[in-house]
Amino acid sequence: MPSVADALRQFAPAYLKQHGDSISVAQDKVLGAITRCRTGALGGVHYECTGCGREHWVGRSCGNRHCPSCGHEKTQAWIEKQSAKLMPVHHFLVTFTVPREIGSVLRGSQRDGYRCLFDASSQSIRDVGSATKSLKGCSLGFFGVLHTWGRDPAVYHPHIHYVVPGGGVKLDESGRAESWQATPKNFLFHHGTLIKTYKAKLADELREAGLYSQVDSAVWEKKFVVDIRPVGHGVPTLKYLAPYVHRVAISDNRIVDVTEETVTYRIRRKGNLMQTKAVAGDAFVEGFLQHVLPTNMMKIRHYGWMSANSKISLTHVKWLVWIVLGWTFWLASGHAPQAEKLTTPMKCRECGGVMRVIKVTYQSLGSLGIRPEHGLAYFDSG
pLDDT digits (tens, 9 = 90+) for 209-232: 999 999 999 999 999 999 999 998
CATH of the domain at 206: 3.30.70
Q: How far apart are CA 142 and CA 126, in angstroms?
A: 9
Considering the domain architecture, whether residues 225 and 304 belong to the same structural domain is answered as yes
Residues 212 and 300 in one domain: yes
- Residue 76's pLDDT band (cuts 50, 70, 90): confident
Find the DSSP H helices in 216-357.
Answer: 235-245, 281-289, 314-325, 328-332
Domain-located, residue 229: yes
The letter for the amino acid at 251 is S
Packed helices 281-289 and 4-19: angle between N→C axes, nearest 10 degrees = 90
pLDDT at res. 270: 78
Chain center to CA of 69 = 15
Percent of the chain at pLDDT > 70 equals 93
Residue 246 — pLDDT band, cuts 50, 70, 90? confident
Domain carrying residue 117: 89-249+291-311
What is the per-residue pLDDT across 132-142, written as a single tens digit (0 to 9) for each? 999 998 999 99
Kindly tell me if the per-residue pLDDT of 121 is higher than 70: yes
Asked whether the predicted pLDDT for residue 159 surpasses 90, the reply is yes
pLDDT at 276: 95
95 and 214 within one domain = yes
* Residues 52, 94 within the same domain: no
**Given this model, what pLDDT does residue 346 score?**
78
Residue 288 predicted with pLDDT over 90 = yes
Distance in angstroms (rounded) separating the CA atoms of residues 181 and 43: 53
pLDDT band at 205 (very low <50, low <70, confident <90, very high): very high
d(CA 74, CA 165): 24
pLDDT, one tens digit per residue, over 55-66 is 888 889 898 989
Q: Is residue 168 within 8 Å of residue 311, measured between CB atoms? A: no
Condensed to tens digits (0 to 9), the pLDDT of residues 319-340 reads: 899 888 876 544 454 544 555 5
pLDDT given at position 102: 97
Residue 125 lies in a domain: yes
Count of structural domains, the chain: 2
